Amino acid sequence: MSNVLRDVESEIDRFRKRLLAAAAFVLLAFALLASRLVYLQVFRHEELATQAEANRIAVVPIVPNRGLIVDRNGVVLATNYSAYTLEISPKLGRGNEAELDALIDDLAGVVDIAPRDRKRFKRLQDELKGAESLPIRTKLTDEEVARFMAQRFRFPGVDVKARLFRNYPLGDTGSHLLGYIGRINQAEKAAMEDWEEAEQGNYKGTEYIGKLGLEQSYEKVLHGQAGFEEVETSAGGRAVRRLKSHPPTPGDKLVLSIDIKLQALVEELFGDRRGALVALDPRSGEVLAFVSKPTFDPNLFVDGIDAESWRELNESIDKPLLNRALRGTYPPGSTYKPFMAMAALNSGKRSPTTLINDTLVFNFGGHRFGSPETERGGIMDMNRAIVQSSNVYFYSLANEMGVDLIHEQLYPMGFGRKTGIDVEGEVTGDLPSTEWKKKRFKKPEQQKWYAGETISLGIGQGYNNFTMLQMATAMSTLVSGGQRFKPRLVREVEDVITGQRKRMANDALEPLPYKPADVEVIRRALHGVTTDGTSRASFVGAGYASGGKTGTAQAVGAKANEKYNAAKLEEHKRDHALYVAAAPIEAPTVALAVIVENAGWGADAAAPMARRVFDYLLLGQYPSAEDIAAMREGKAKAPIGKTRPAAEVPLPGQATTAAAP
């Protein structure tokens, strides 16, 4: 019996110990919980409260409306419209392509998703690694939005968003000067990291950026100031309630100096031919027309260009993506002669009355430098040499001046240097000198300048290569007596909130010290070209006095002792047609340069283009439909048919162009 009692007491004792151990463990656990609670509630209260609030409240950037671009008369060239897009979170595609493809297949049963949409989505996946969402379909109809929203619960990670899209109402008109916008790529994101912190913050949520032209050059003016809104989110991350918002400030409006009706007219006059035309106001540097042909439709790039359209643009022999006015360089041909004449007068190398016997051949170092069959030769003073376009006169002048003096005199006019126009991408061209050649070539035998290389420079051949922007700028400087301005495309910037317009400064450069008598010699000779010289047929009956100089430049070098025959050459190898001009010649308000690629004589193809531009700007006259058709075929000189008041002619395509799709 006693043994039994002892066993019971022993069991009770063990139980008490276990109970005490369990109680101690429970008390310790509660103590740990209490200490943790104190730590979280007291020491980390503010931090955790902030995190909890952040889990419930999201700050969402609001992208501002991009600024408009209008021409000098208020015609809208770039605007915005709102549309719905169907977007997928990129997280859904990570590591499981098959699942993503299945999701897209299911979505295709609700809204129409074309193969093109799938290809674009795949490309954006590769290009935009850090994007919050990627569009699988853009510009949804109201019916498609309603269908998706009714079945939204089936597609987590997929949502409909309202986006702003850029629109260029006139399509390909002025495309090279406007440029286009597109999605920000990885390289651009990396470049943005070097921006100031405030600028980086302003681009939070921004997915599109200017890629070319004015859209690129005035990106930060057009972008505006981003806004934000605080929204309450559900556990799934969807916004359920807006708590607070700060509206964005739209981008400023660009008012261009361009007359888009003139721009469209010139582009139409080119037809299917390639080339460029730049027209400036010599009194201010404002650009009146900035044409490069062929053009392209910038709307193709806004939503991501498809592979077929890109291949067509990028691989075309006509190079429609090349901005010929800004980046195309060409030998100036005989259009260079008036500038050479001014260089001779300014440097004192020749007087206007110096006489040269033009025998149609200039011999130098055992080489014969010839003249076109159309030249008549004879005794030439400076005026007659320009009017008759004497090669021998300018061969001999180049030889007398030498390459370095030519460079010294023509560089200030704008040759071989960037003009400073307010759009990115300008090239310098080539104005040769002995130093230029040393830098240009690597081999010692190539770096040496040979005297014979100077001769052809006098007639705008050899190493000479310039843009039409440089040619127009130089012409503006020449006819204005040495006044120089940086050319500008943007005339004013308008604050969309206050409506105030800020006039862009006309950046006047230091004038060149040309003597008025020397300038008058050149002006008189330029006018003679239009009355007695190579462009007289284009200016018959003009209601103003103009001056100009035609030119023909080789597209490819001619073989030795081989006579040029355009009919036997491929079209892309034929000579270029050029013309530089100004009007009214007594007090010029417009100066221009035009090239029609592979069109032959400047008098046949380029000078008629200048005539129509002057008629439009000086007389308010618009060519007849008959004349436009003839010009497109290169078969008109002086205008034909009855001209129309320019103010009464609608902008081409205006009647059928909507402000937004």
Alpha carbon 454 to its chain's center: 35
Residue 412's closest CA among 515, 325, 484?
484
How is residue 66 written in tokens?
A: 């991009």
Catalytic residue of the set 334, 456, 476, 538: 334
Q: State phi, psi for 392 to the nearest 5 degrees.
A: -60, -40
Is residue 197 packed enough to be buried (19+ CB in 10 Å), middle (13-18) or exposed (0-12)?
exposed
Dist. CA 114–CA 149, nearest whole Å: 20
334 included as an active-site residue:
yes
Strands in 220-341 per DSSP E:
227-233, 239-246, 253-256, 275-280, 287-293
What secondary structure letter does DSSP report for 654?
Answer: G
Report the alpha-carbon distance of residue 288 to residue 170 in Å, rounded: 18
For residue 308, how far is the Cα from the chain centroid? 22
Q: Decide if 579 contacts 602 (C-beta within 8 A).
A: yes
- Cβ contacts of residue 261 below 8 Å, gap of 6+? 71, 73, 75, 646, 649, 651
Q: Dihedral sign, CA of 581, 584, 585, 587?
A: negative
CA distance 477 to 161: 53
d(CA 118, CA 86) in angstroms, rounded, equals 12
3-class SS of residue 56: helix
Residue 527 and residue 633: Cα distance in Å, rounded? 27
What is the rounded CA–CA span in Å between residue 223 and residue 221? 6
Q: Is the dihedral of CA 477, 481, 484, 485 positive or negative?
A: negative
Do the bridges between strand 253-256 and strand 69-70 make them parallel or antiparallel, or are there none, so unpaired? parallel
Q: What is the DSSP letter of 42?
A: I
Q: Which residue has the tokens 């007849």?
A: 624
Question: Which residues, other chains included, contact 84 with Cβ-Cβ below 8 Å and sequence gap of 6+?
Answer: 139, 140, 144, 145, 160, 161, 162, 163
| Burial (0-12, 13-18, 19+ Cβ within 10 Å), 638 | middle
Point out the residues that are catalytic.
334
